[in-house]
Amino acid sequence: MKKRYLLCPQCGTHRFFVKDENGENVYFHVDWDNVPFPTEASDADLSNKDFSVVHSTGCSWKGGIKGLVKYLR
Ligand SMILES: [Zn+2]
């Protein structure tokens, strides 16, 4: 089954990133079960990453995964 993406509450993007231990951006999506998974482009290793603050790729929003939305209002 196709995964459905959670969205940035401000701009509606479905692509987010966190900084890894080397200061590099790690890109991912988040599914409707609040589980991060890699983008096809990055195929990143998401194990041992800190998702307490995730950054929107479309605007300046950042926050916890619980702040993401299923639908943009
Ligand atoms: Zn955004």
For residue range 45-69, what is the model confidence (pLDDT) as tens digits? Answer: 898 899 999 999 999 999 999 999 9
47 CA distance to ligand 1 centroid (A)? 24
Contact 55, 17 (CB under 8 A): yes
16 CA distance to ligand 1 centroid (A)? 8
Burial class for 64, CB neighbours closer than 10 Å (0-12, 13-18, 19+): exposed
* Count of residues making up the chain: 73
pLDDT over 80 (residue 2): no
Per-residue pLDDT band for 43 (boundaries 50, 70, 90) equals: confident
Segment 3-40, tens digit of pLDDT: 899 999 999 999 999 999 889 999 999 999 999 999 98
Q: 16 Cβ partners below 8 Å, 6+ apart?
A: 8, 27, 28, 29, 30, 36, 54, 55, 56, 57, 68
> What pLDDT, on the 0 to 100 scale, is given for residue 6?
98
34 CA distance to ligand 1 centroid (A)? 17
38 CA distance to ligand 1 centroid (A)? 18
12 CA distance to ligand 1 centroid (A)? 6
